């Protein structure tokens, strides 16, 4: 789905389409919604609450999958995606216990493996108080930043949707740059995490 078609759907159906789209691709939808909030189509504070609830709900679901399905074939597949064998689990537990905030950032911002990473936290029986505390910090940081960027970007077009539609190429360019930075950062975080687990295994 292109940025233009996603924007058109959100404009037409507002909150009714925002929910399913956010479940599929949260970051880019948050940016678009923030842009439209600057034009009065959404309440920016309502969006902040919505995306926070969305992220925490997704975390809870994936944590439950890992917690209750830790010994299943699905769990083994998630570990394989993260390049983690059963011998690595204790190392990952140490990362969660000693560096929960940085580990949560690495996991949730690692594009493509965030859900499996959270599932591993459930498999390790990470304390819920710690899990949701740092998950909330990451969610607020990530989504409020995206909403703020979108809101600022939307305001630069004079508060008219026609201006955004006429300058859609700039919207696409800005979103493309944002996504590129986001994907590069997430790729680096993922590589860093894999490197740390491999180094810990060598030191055993």
pLDDT attached to residue 132: 92
> Per the domain annotation, does 22 fall within a domain?
no
pLDDT attached to residue 24: 78
pLDDT attached to residue 157: 61
pLDDT attached to residue 186: 61
Range of the domain at 92: 47-154+161-202
> Per the domain annotation, does 99 fall within a domain?
yes
> Per the domain annotation, does 1 fall within a domain?
no
> Per the domain annotation, does 18 fall within a domain?
no
Q: Name residues whose C-beta falls within 8 Å of residue 118's C-beta, 6 or more positions apart in sequence.
A: 58, 59, 62, 63, 66, 107, 108
> Per the domain annotation, does 28 fall within a domain?
no
> Per the domain annotation, does 93 fall within a domain?
yes
> Per the domain annotation, does 165 fall within a domain?
yes
Going residue by residue through the chain (204 aa), what tens digit of pLDDT does each one get? 556 667 777 777 787 888 888 887 778 888 888 888 888 888 999 999 999 999 999 889 888 888 887 777 766 776 666 666 666 666 667 777 777 887 788 777 765 566 777 777 888 888 898 899 999 998 998 899 889 988 887 777 655 565 555 555 566 566 666 666 666 666 666 566 656 655 655 665
How many structural domains comprise the chain? 1
User: pTM (2 decimals)?
Assistant: 0.71
> Per the domain annotation, does 123 fall within a domain?
yes
pLDDT attached to residue 1: 57
User: Which residue, among 25, 91, 105, has the nearest Cα to 58 in the 3D structure?
Assistant: 25
pLDDT attached to residue 60: 92
Helix/strand/coil (H, E, C) string of the chain?
A: CCHHHHHHHHHHHCHHHHHHHHHHCHHHHHHHHHHHHCCCCCCHHHHHHHHHHHHHHHHHHHHHHHHHCCCCHHHHHHHHHCCCCHHHHHHHHHHHHHCHHHHHHHHHCCCCCHHHHHHHHHHCCCCHHHHHHHHHHHHHHHHHHHHHHHHHHHHCCCCCHHHHHHCHHHHHHHHHHHHHHHHHHHHHHHHHHHHHHHHHHHCC
């Amino acid at each position: 789905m292109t940025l233009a078609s996603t924007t058109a759907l959100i404009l037409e159906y507002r909150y009714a389409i925002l929910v399913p789209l956010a479940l599929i691709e949260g970051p880019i939808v948050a940016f678009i919604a923030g842009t439209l909030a600057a034009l009065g189509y959404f309440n920016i504070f309502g969006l902040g609450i919505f995306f926070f609830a969305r992220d925490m709900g997704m975390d809870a679901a994936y944590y439950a999958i890992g917690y209750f399905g830790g010994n299943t074939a699905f769990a083994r597949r998630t570990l394989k995606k993260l390049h983690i064998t059963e011998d690595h689990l204790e190392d990952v537990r140490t990362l969660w216990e000693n560096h929960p905030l940085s580990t949560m950032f690495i996991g949730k911002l690692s594009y493509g493996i965030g859900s499996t990473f959270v599932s591993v936290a459930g498999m390790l029986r990470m304390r819920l108080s710690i899990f949701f505390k740092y998950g909330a910090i990451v969610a607020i940081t990530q989504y409020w930043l995206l909403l703020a960027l979108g809101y600022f970007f939307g305001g630069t077009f004079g508060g008219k949707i026609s201006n955004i539609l006429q300058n859609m190429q700039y919207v696409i360019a800005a979103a493309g740059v944002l996504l590129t930075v986001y994907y590069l950062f997430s790729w680096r975080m993922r590589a860093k995490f894999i490197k740390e687990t491999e180094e810990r295994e060598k030191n055993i």
